[in-house]
Structure 1
């Protein structure tokens, strides 16, 4: 007589989907294949939406974009071997930019004694470990459940970075009990009271304090603004920290931290407090910050605190909680600082002129667009000169609304990431900005945007070449080589995918096309060339 299965048992792949649903996952981005079809058995039954990407790289970027827009982990399902490898670029981007993405893949059951299998590679787990916080193999249902909960626990309490777990094919199809009930998630570390008190004492004693806010300070924006107002502190932000301080604050230098002249301004401060920023190469584009004053660094990641600029006071803790606690100690006793607003205003004018001179003609288009966009606009940009200008001069009213491949710097990010963002936040107006070359890395994801009917204007900046590389070659006295590629008819290409597609000939027409794209019943490809300026 055959043994009866427990009523709660299902194939493990289905149980994982049910577990993810119980942990708050409502969307999975991925591509099914013969090796991971058991992962798909339970998706619909669990009540999870699956978004079918056209390439695993697109699926990974969609999960990243979803996570950045919603604040919840993004999840992607991929197959053994090439499927996972195709997702490594977006996982590397997520690691660089501290984005919570969980990639779950299938893997072969046996690789040591069997060779020549479909999708076989030498070390799949190790390959993912090069770009993820960790990469582990679940060899039992219990291990799979532990890994899922470990990922969500770490997303909630540590610097969020991508995780990869893989499950052998036979195990995915084997019947298993349901996952355990979700436990209460841990919280991020909080700065010690004595460290906050020391920072408050230093801040109250400073005459020209300067804050530098990074992407880790986004959730603490309200406290950051109140602190700056109470103390009269000046501030810079990294590109990821734009909007933490209002763009029109007269004591805010803006997102010009990477301008060489920012170093001499930072040297004017008698106290620098860097919150939620690595002060990395991609933040500064120079070897040193430029400060002569004591430096306080605050970060959730202990490894960051002295990695680039040595701190005089290093504080590990959640940035938002630190800013709130610091405000409570400082606000009742603060007196305005002694920063000269004219110096800050003139520096901003000078920095903007440098940006415009380096990449002429783009800034006026950004100004016109920014003035016409809805206040809650969310932008996803790619590695393109248009975005390089915009992320320095485009004012942000709120933080966490401009997403860019800041650290890893991969091409092809914007379109699929914006799709993930729009799926996660359908209520928000979302603008995609891509360049003609990088757009072609992931242009096939247009099919996803059309399939889902996503109202997404896509600003495609086409200067008909790899202009940034050409400029770098010229600056290095190298004859430009391999920087021009034949482009397709982008309007025709968009229409072939089923998008609305236009090529505006004036800036006014461009603005109208973007605004109309927010209200359309699908994506709008807007092909823009430098000729738009006449």
Structure 2
């Protein structure tokens, strides 16, 4: 085979659902081999979308996502999406072409940036091919590493001359990497859980995505309320009697905050305690036992009693084997309390509080009601992202998606398209903001070209409102937050997607139903306002930020606010 054929054959061995990207001068041989070997592929509108779509493909299926781009700008355009996969623990493999790196290679080659140096900081591992014989082995190893431990992105860099070189290949996929487990640490954890005087709460992250039934069974044995991180939404069904929503501090749902006030010991499983999920580490001080597959995450952001490096499912299944020693009697009062708290949260979300435009939280609550339990929702980085985390309830993993930790604006548009490409059996919804829309809107042309029926909802208030909420209380003005007006109807027509508009709360349910009644990809323009509701995450962030300031910094902040309040100047832009 040629090196290009070997690469395509290796991807076919891995049963890749789709390779996302754009062919270029240095990898045309590879893309031709994709076609010859019947490896599914998708042309994207912008290379930045290639890694995002691979990320979304992995999130939606639980399999490794794949993208392929040329070096130089192809790679640099993909770095943001690769970083999102790294921070959100998503297994993707990037097949990145490189220039000719031979000793006698000419200088001044096109796309000749230091591609290895650019890629290495944002991947778990980088396999650089030095001979065409290494191509399939490098790809197999990349898939193994991407899936193992804490999942993440892996790069395979192949200088383009190797695609035309021929070799007699005979490579078998390598066996899976071993899963660590410290028996002594596990027994210490069981010793704490055995003490029935301790009231346990479970904080679960995306590391539990494949361990949902085991997680629910352990929670029932411990009679423990279960809160999740943002990316962990769905690891326990929101309908479960012990599920309290996301977070367990002031940044999460009220149900989670109040339920965890009675907890003596938090069992944190498959979760990092990242900045976003904790509102800048505003975590209540409670004893914590931390279990995670990545030893670098253990005990880093919160003090812990004990840590265990383990796969979440392996740990939870072991606990179920010791269930007789850790179980608690049924606690109907706890279940009733959780039910009451969650009902208050639901009523709060479903009560209109913002007029005359659409109330985003009300919209999100109604969107969830209209959708079935199996449908996929992608939410972008907007002022309403945290309302979505509170309001959108899901009944299993891989139903709710947002760029949790790298927070890439514009991520949800290409992500939803990539997910629809590999999950044609599901309805896919994208909720984005007008600012995010500016960053990736042309990708709607890809949905139109392929007839991918994603339903895109754009929240429009004419500004980067998230930044306004952060700036105004501190500076008493906003800077560089007002954005251009977009004619969404004309844009939809221009890229070939259907159009709908929702301009009032009264039209929310009919408007959502109209969107789903239309075939193909639809852009729905939603006129929103953010004035009139608290964003709990933002309130927790501000409170924690002020508490962390030194006295001198607090005086400076108060002085600035005082001066600008007395002498207001209308210079917001």
Moved more, 193-202 or 323-332: 193-202
Alignment correspondent of 1:150: 141
Gaps of 5+ in 1: 1-8
Alignment correspondent of 1:271: 265
Q: Aligned equivalents of 1:179 and 1:52: distance in 2?
A: 30
Alignment correspondent of 1:287: 281
Alignment correspondent of 1:104: 95
Secondary structure of 1:441's partner? helix
Q: Is it true that 1:306 corresponds to 2:286 in the alignment? A: no
Deviation at 1:204, TM superposition (A): 3.0
Alignment correspondent of 2:372: 374
Q: Aligned equivalents of 2:326 and 2:99: distance in 1?
A: 63
Shift in alpha-carbon separation, 1:104–1:258, aligned structure 2, 3 A: farther
Q: Which digits, 9 at most, give the CA deviation of each residue in 1:320-365, with x for residues without a partner?
A: 22112212311576223767557656765787899999x9532222
Alignment correspondent of 2:481: 483
Q: Aligned equivalents of 1:439 and 1:179: distance in 2?
A: 47
Q: Is the 8 A contact 1:94 1:161 kept in 2?
A: yes
Q: Aligned equivalents of 1:50 and 1:517: distance in 2?
A: 28
Q: Is the 8 A contact 1:517 1:523 kept in 2?
A: no
Secondary structure of 2:244's partner? strand
Q: Aligned equivalents of 1:111 and 1:518: distance in 2?
A: 55
Shift in alpha-carbon separation, 1:464–1:201, aligned structure 2, 3 A: same
Q: Is it true that 1:214 corresponds to 2:202 in the alignment? A: no
Q: Which digits, 9 at most, give the CA deviation of each residue in 1:459-478, with x for residues without a partner?
A: 11111110010111111124
Gaps of 5+ in 2: 533-573
Q: How does 1:136-285 map to 2 (within 5 A)?
A: 136-178=127-169, 180-183=171-174, 185-186=175-176, 189=179, 191-206=181-196, 207-259=198-250, 266=260, 268-285=262-279
Q: Aligned equivalents of 1:114 and 1:45: distance in 2?
A: 31
Moved more, 131-140 or 197-206: 197-206
Q: Which digits, 9 at most, give the CA deviation of each residue in 1:40-63, with x for residues without a partner?
A: 121111111210001110111111
Shift in alpha-carbon separation, 1:13–1:81, aligned structure 2, 3 A: same
Q: Is it true that 1:452 corresponds to 2:442 in the alignment? A: no
Q: Is the 8 A contact 1:16 1:179 kept in 2?
A: no
Q: Is it true that 1:327 corresponds to 2:325 in the alignment? A: no
Shift in alpha-carbon separation, 1:145–1:34, aligned structure 2, 3 A: same
Q: Which digits, 9 at most, give the CA deviation of each residue in 1:7-38, with x for residues without a partner?
A: xx3x2112101111012113110101111112
TM-score, scaled to structure 2: 0.84
Secondary structure of 1:459's partner? strand
Deviation at 1:289, TM superposition (A): 3.0
Q: How does 1:46-61 map to 2 (within 5 A)?
A: 46-61=37-52
Alignment correspondent of 2:74: 83
Q: Is the 8 A contact 2:503 2:528 kept in 1?
A: no
Alignment correspondent of 1:120: 112
Secondary structure of 2:404's partner? coil
Alignment correspondent of 1:6: none
Moved more, 227-236 or 159-168: 227-236
Moved more, 348-357 or 493-502: 348-357
Deviation at 1:521, TM superposition (A): 3.9
Q: Aligned equivalents of 1:25 and 1:305: distance in 2?
A: 32
Q: Aligned equivalents of 1:134 and 1:316: distance in 2?
A: 20
Moved more, 430-439 or 186-195: 186-195
Q: Aligned equivalents of 2:506 and 2:190: distance in 1?
A: 49
Deviation at 1:505, TM superposition (A): 3.6
Alignment correspondent of 1:3: none
Moved more, 379-388 or 52-61: 379-388
Q: Is the 8 A contact 1:239 1:392 kept in 2?
A: no
Shift in alpha-carbon separation, 1:258–1:528, aligned structure 2, 3 A: farther
Across the aligned residues of Structure 1 and Structure 2, the Cα RMSD in angstroms comes to: 2.8
Shift in alpha-carbon separation, 1:155–1:119, aligned structure 2, 3 A: closer
2:437 corresponds, among 427, 432, 439, to 439
TM-score, scaled to structure 1: 0.90
Secondary structure of 2:19's partner? strand
Q: Is the 8 A contact 1:455 1:517 kept in 2?
A: no
Q: Aligned equivalents of 2:382 and 2:432: distance in 1?
A: 6
